[in-house]
A = this chain, B = another copy of it.
Amino acid sequence: MSKNIKVNAAILIIGNEILSGRTQDTNTSTLATWLNSIGVKVGEVRVIPDIENIIIETINLLRKKYNYVFTSGGIGPTHDDITAQSVSKTFGLKYEIHKEAFKILEKYYKKGEFNEGRQKMVWMPKNANLILNPTSGAPGFNVENVFCLPGVPSILKSMLGGLKNKIVGGEPILSHTISLKTVESEIANSLSKVQNENDDVEIGSYPFFHAGKLGVSIVLRSENQTRIDECSSQILKFVNEKKIEIVER
């Protein structure tokens, strides 16, 4: 895939615990930050319950719409972990013991500890490619462009390094932030003008309240550093004219 092709992805968080509010999802921001750094733009995120037909339907839709799909959650040993069997059905593949994964976990656990519960974690779609897990042994896997990762944030994070070679990104998406001691309404019109004149740079405006300080962060995003710099100059020009203070964030 050539470097100037745009590459996109969807993130699919699978788990009732996010929908009930019990658990605060952090995997979206971990995955999105990492994907951006390797030139993959996240087009959408969905959070869905642990219900087989919803998982199958959603993966089928997303895998056709995006270059990559990353799922998080549902690959552990308990009854509510149904991602692997759902992905098998999605692709019409047999759900079976993955020999390589079996060997990995057989080695990982002490003798006698690789019990029936743990063995559930080596059931995968036939011929799935493994994603190694340096934290807790049990691998994730991918079938075609669908990559299945665990829900526990620290484990998911530790698996991204091993994933890098499997993902072909485009140009990394660069960003530059200018933080100002002002309110959005003060700069809205000027910023709007800069955005209109530079529609190839994505300009976001985000108010912040931090350590008692109120301000606005302007974020410029593009694959092209020169274009970011040009926009940045135009913004700094009106910031100076308006005598707005630039602050650290």
List chain A positions with a Cβ less than 8 A from chain B.
Answer: 13, 15-26, 28-36, 41-50, 76-80, 115-118, 120, 152, 154, 173, 175, 184-189, 191-192, 195-196, 202-207, 209, 219, 221
Measured in the bound complex, the distance between the Cα atoms of B32 and A204 in whole Å is 26
List of B residues within 8 angstroms of A16 by Cβ:
202, 204, 221
Decide: B77 and A206 in contact? CB cutoff 8 A. no
Check if A17 sits within 8 Å of B219, measured CB to CB.
Answer: yes
Assembly of this chain: how many copies? 2
Question: A79-B195, A115-B185, A152-B207 known; A32 and B45 CB under 8 Å?
Answer: no
Q: Which of B29, B77, B118 contacts A23 (CB 8 A)?
A: B29
* A44 and B25 contacting across the interface, CB-CB below 8 Å: no
B residues less than 8 Å from A77 (CB atoms): 184-185, 188
Q: A22 touches which one: B35, B209, B219 (CB < 8 A)?
A: B219
A192 touches B79 (CB 8 A): yes
B44 and A20 contacting across the interface, CB-CB below 8 Å? no
Asked whether, in the complex, the Cβ of A79 is within 8 Å of the Cβ of B188, the reply is: yes
